[in-house]
């Protein structure tokens, strides 16, 4: 892998795979809900939509036609800390698709009429999240866990913030955040090195640096019980425990602890409360990490009548976990992680994603050898130490969606943990 930095600070990463016949392209931009304000919440996501609505020289239809003519896939998504535009095409069409991607990013039309139409689309997308109890539960959990930070907000925004978007709002945000210091371009696959470097210089070389690199402040977390009454056949519960930031050396230990607890079919929670006790339809444990903060979660879907038994058993398993986790369980979790990473790296798109996110958020890209070594070197003591931090007394939060109980009742079920 080769890194090239243009004079304006734009970073380009080249990962040649000459045996392929296609190229994956990714443009990563440090623009997401975390860097917005209550008034501009959702603007990064709105921009992602508007980039496909046409440029100064290409209509939205023409962008779609070029994508289809080349047989490629051009798309985008918005996360809490960044926006990504990505494509995968046959190598012979790399120049064509990259020129379109660059034009969308640098010269979006941002017409008022099209923005008003797209607001309706975004509002429909927001409604779809609210109709999904799993999505709603996680949104409400994050909002309560980071109550004084934009990281806790839904990337789509509120009805009010979406309605208030204007072309000028979007342009002002792009002038601040769509800048070379907050951009990373990645090529992975078969491509002509000199050609793609020339393309990056041609389209992005004239961008001026603004002195606005990606910065963050570690947010404060809160402990809470939150209920969201909703007429559902199944309740969705998310339990939250302490976690670690994306840049923390203990990240893999926390990830393994969650995998052993409830992340796989052989995990303790799945085997106990689903297979043996039949209390839930689904149960999962996972760790989510951002810059400066993180959280460990247990999520499950079940009937309201089974909540008490399930919650009590989950808490019993969590309390016993640090001192009972075994070497065999750790080795199984390692194999799962190593296999997942290995298979992911076989895809140029997944590899480009790893490179782009690491470069943008962490400022460096670990080699594959470094990544595998970090996964392998986690010890049983590391996992036990992480688990003790996760499940230390009094550090559990809960968000419940559905035919919920009272906050007092949940506190009673969870006992001294809340």
The residues assigned a catalytic role are: 48
278/410 Cα distance (integer angstroms)? 21
Helical (H) or strand (E) element with 337: helix 327-345
Spatial contact of 33 and 150, defined as CB atoms under 8 Å apart: yes
Burial (Cβ within 10 Å: 0-12, 13-18, ≥19) of residue 63: buried
Spatial contact of 22 and 89, defined as CB atoms under 8 Å apart: yes
What is the end-to-end Cα distance of the chain in Å, rounded? 48
The residues with which 84 forms a beta bridge, in sequence order, are 28, 77
Helix (H, G, I), strand (E, B) or coil at 54: strand
Spatial contact of 74 and 97, defined as CB atoms under 8 Å apart: yes
Taking 3-state DSSP, the helix, strand and coil percentages for the chain, each rounded to the nearest 5, stand at: 50, 20, 30
Q: What angle do CA 106, 206, 362 make, to 5 degrees?
A: 75
Buried b (16+ CB within 10 A) or exposed e, 261-274: bbbbeebbbbebbb
| Distant-in-sequence, close-in-space partners of 409: CB < 8 Å, separation ≥ 6 | none
Helical (H) or strand (E) element with 3: strand 2-5
Among 410, 379, 45, 389, which Cα is nearest to 242's?
A: 389
Q: In what order do the strands lie in the sheet with 397-402?
A: 225-229, 397-402, 235-242, 293-302, 282-290
């Amino acid at each position: 892998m080769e890194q090239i930095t243009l004079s304006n600070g734009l970073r380009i990463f080249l990962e040649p795979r000459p045996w392929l016949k296609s190229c994956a392209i990714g443009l990563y931009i440090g623009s997401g809900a975390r860097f917005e304000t209550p008034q501009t919440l959702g603007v990064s996501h709105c921009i992602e939509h508007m980039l496909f609505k046409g440029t100064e020289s290409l209509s939205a239809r023409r962008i779609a036609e070029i994508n289809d003519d080349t047989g490629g896939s051009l798309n985008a998504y918005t996360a809490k800390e960044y926006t990504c535009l990505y494509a995968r095409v046959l190598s012979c069409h790399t120049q064509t698709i990259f020129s379109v991607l660059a034009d969308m990013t640098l010269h979006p039309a941002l017409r008022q009429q099209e923005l008003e139409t797209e607001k309706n689309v975004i509002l429909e997308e927001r409604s779809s999240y609210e109709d999904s109890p799993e999505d709603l539960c996680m949104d409400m959990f994050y909002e309560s866990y980071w109550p004084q930070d934009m990281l806790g907000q839904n990337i789509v925004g509120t009805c009010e913030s979406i309605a208030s978007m204007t072309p000028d709002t979007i342009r002002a945000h792009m002038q601040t955040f769509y800048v070379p210091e907050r951009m990373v371009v990645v090529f992975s696959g078969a491509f002509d090195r000199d050609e793609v470097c020339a393309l990056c210089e041609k389209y992005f070389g004239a961008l001026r640096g603004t002195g606005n690199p990606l910065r963050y402040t570690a947010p404060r977390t809160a402990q809470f019980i939150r209920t969201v009454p909703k007429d559902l056949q199944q309740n969705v519960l998310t339990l939250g425990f302490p976690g670690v930031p994306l840049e923390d050396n203990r990240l893999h230990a926390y990830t393994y602890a969650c995998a052993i607890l409830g992340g796989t079919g052989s995990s303790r929670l799945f085997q106990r409360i689903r297979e043996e006790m039949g209390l839930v339809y689904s149960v999962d444990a996972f760790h989510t990490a951002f810059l400066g903060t993180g959280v460990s979660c247990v999520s499950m879907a079940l009937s309201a009548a089974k909540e008490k038994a399930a919650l009590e058993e989950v808490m019993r398993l969590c309390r016993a976990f640090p001192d009972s986790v075994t070497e065999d369980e750790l080795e199984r979790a390692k194999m799962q992680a190593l296999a997942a990473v290995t298979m992911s790296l076989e895809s140029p798109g997944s590899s480009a994603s790893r490179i782009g996110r690491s470069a943008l958020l962490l400022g460096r890209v670990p080699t594959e050898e470094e990544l595998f070594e970090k996964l392998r070197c986690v010890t049983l003591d590391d996992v036990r130490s992480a688990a003790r931090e996760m499940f230390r007394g009094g550090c559990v939060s809960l968000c419940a969606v559905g035919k919920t109980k009272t906050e007092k009742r949940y506190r009673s079920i969870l006992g001294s943990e809340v």
